[in-house]
Chain A
Amino acid sequence: MSTSPTENEMQQPSLSVHGTGYHGWALWMRQTLAILQLELVKNFWGRRALLLYLIAALPVALVSMLSLLPPDADEMRELGRLSQVFAAIYGGLILRTLIFFGCAWVFMNLFRGEVVDRSLHYYFLSPVRREVLVVGKYLSGLIATIILFGSATAASMLILFYGLLPAEASAYFLSGIGARHLLTYVGVTILACIGYGAVFLIVGLFFRNPIVPALLLYGWEWLNFLLPPGLKKISVIHYLHSLVPVPLSEGPFAVLAEPTPAYLAVPSLFIFTGVIIFLAGLHIRRMEISYAGE
């Protein structure tokens, strides 16, 4: 006896909802995209996005000011030294502070913000696997931070070089190593968003008050230069520093350690992120919402 197409279609939803077989993956992808779409609107147009825009605009404003009012020093007149100036701005301001706080803001709010808004139960009541929710929300945060901080990094570098040395900058970016440096900086920014995003996603999920762990993380990442080589590897900043095209001295008190090569640093960050997302997925399956006390 042959099964009619109508009966087949009716069986599909049960397969999809339980996530077995091809249809499960297709459904999860669709649901991830739907969550992504919803969350992207919140990340870019929500009231909380204002602070993110402000953070991302800070380095651009700073280098614009530097281009308009350059200090009377050789650093601003030589291409080689200007790339060191940008490396200092990138390492000291963009990477260590702005991306860190920006990611903390976005990724901690993915779940904590929903709890505060008392809207997480809408997601939990809909027929979506919670792991799918984690992935969808994480990807939305990732896209928002990558777009904002990636653009801020690229814009800062271009404004600095073209603003101070327009003639040399054209040659530097179009036929020199400038384009490679620019892409590397943007790449490091993307990796920073991936790494810090995963850390703050899990912090936001596990801790009711994520401020203290965020503060401890900030201290750990800042004091990384003082840590012994073994401990340096238990941080995101160590791998990111290994990848920046113009390495800077970390000062006289820094404990020197071999930078991790790119072929190890990049996969390490991806593996770390994968493990964190997996843990977040495990945690959220048992998560119960309590809006009291928020």
Chain B
Amino acid sequence: MAKITSNILVDVSGGKDVYNALAKAVSAAGLGKSVQVAAVDGFGVKAEGAVVKVLPSGGYYTGVAPEDADRIVQAAASGEGGSPVPAYTTNVRVALKNVGYIDPASIDDYIATRGYEALGGCLTNNTPQDVIAAVKASGLRGRGGAGFPTGLKWEFAGKSAGDKKYVICNADEGDPGAFMDRSVLEGDPHAVLEAMAICGYAIGADEGVIYCRAEYPLAVARLENAINQAEALGLLGDNILGTGFSFKISINLGAGAFVCGEETALINSIEGQRGEPRLKPPFPAAAGLWMKPSNVNNVETYACVRHIFLNGPEWFAGIGTEKSKGTKVFALAGKINNVGLIEVPMGTTLREIIYDIGGGIRGGKQFKAIQTGGPSGGCIPASLLDLPIDYESLASVGSMMGSGGLIVMDEDDCMVNIARYYLDFTVEESCGKCTPCRIGNMRLLEMLEEITSGKGKPEYINELRELGEVIKDASLCGLGQTAPNPVLSTMHYFMDEYEAHIRDHKCPAGACSALLKYVIDPEKCTGCTLCARNCPVDCIAGERRKTHVIDQERCIKCGTCMAKCRFGAISRV
């Protein structure tokens, strides 16, 4: 049977001239049975003019004119053609290197990508001190959000005296809209296991615990499978690779408390105690799980470790900015065209992430803010879009790196309502141990609820700010210390929206339903009855060919009537 042997992919987003010329050239040369011309929608490469990609080689032609068609078709038919072109996005893969590439259920796939070679190398050729020195030299910082230098953390745990130590993996990913760690665990579980074993060797631990939220059943299943495979090959368990080093890993399921992502609350939870944070010091490196020296890192941090040893600490330190090395994985969500999981070098700007990688704002709407760091972070406005992403710069604008959730908001999002949403989350998730967090956040939420329903008082502005600062100062753990950030940052950048709600009882974005109503313009209404027929609560009255009226008492402000009206007679005021 005849089989197509070459495919010419043409970017037709800029017009079909080249596509048509190529199709014509193929049929003129009588190559229709072996060469295919296919239209695609852009390659995302740095190139001018019309771009064509040839398969199977994957080479590109750029700046193609219709008269180039014959030449390209002949080259493609002979199995060659084109040259490499750099991709437009500069994203590099470290933590996600294997995710979406290997079969996560196959240890052979992992080993084929130099899996466990870093562990084997450390055990065979390096002292624990060498290993710690390499991690320090790489500049790797905690990817869970706070950004503490990983090598330093390992060094503290290594220097703590003790006959028994633990390596803990924090896989209790809980920020709304975040799924970086889940993707790593589900796509490349061995990378985490290998790094935990390396850490165990470095600090002198023989046992590791992965604290994974129970809402990630597939991640847990793939981890269990991976642990069994690694033990069967002697890559975990006793006497790993004949070196005398032993390391076992078990999985502990979290029951869905956000605060258990805080390392001391997590340790309490593993011990079977209430998931409440402990006073620090002592830090886990001195007295952690079962009061033994413990090292806690997040999934993504561990996922970076093996590449530091495979490529050298200098290589890792060569990526990113002066103080934030390497890459960061982000879960890009919200009002953006290309929702997805991305990994970019530290120092990439928000603008590059939103427009180059994310494809811009959905529906061509106006960008308003980007939320980073989840409930601990803040909202960053359009004026700061050229901010390079690293730990320090995000903190300097009142937000934080966080674990990597990026939620894009457009003109239809009310910033007061967004702050209310996050406060609602932290109030729900506060463990209740510290009064400022337990009561203070509740008070913040109550004020925000009043503001978004038009009952806010002018003095709330100062009260929100003062109370927010007190909660930050007086809470024990990261949850309370950062919970007011969404309020404080939106007040800093979007005070006009707070004022509009309080002073004018208006929601400029039209998101707070208590502050808006739908009205019918008698001039434009034709009495077609379409709105009345579609109203889910039957609150629109009016005879055929006569002006209709919305009963404001019964209206639930769903906006269906406005969307259905063909005459633009209904508006939101």
Same complex: no
**Residue ranges of A at the interface with B (Cβ–Cβ < 8 Å):** none
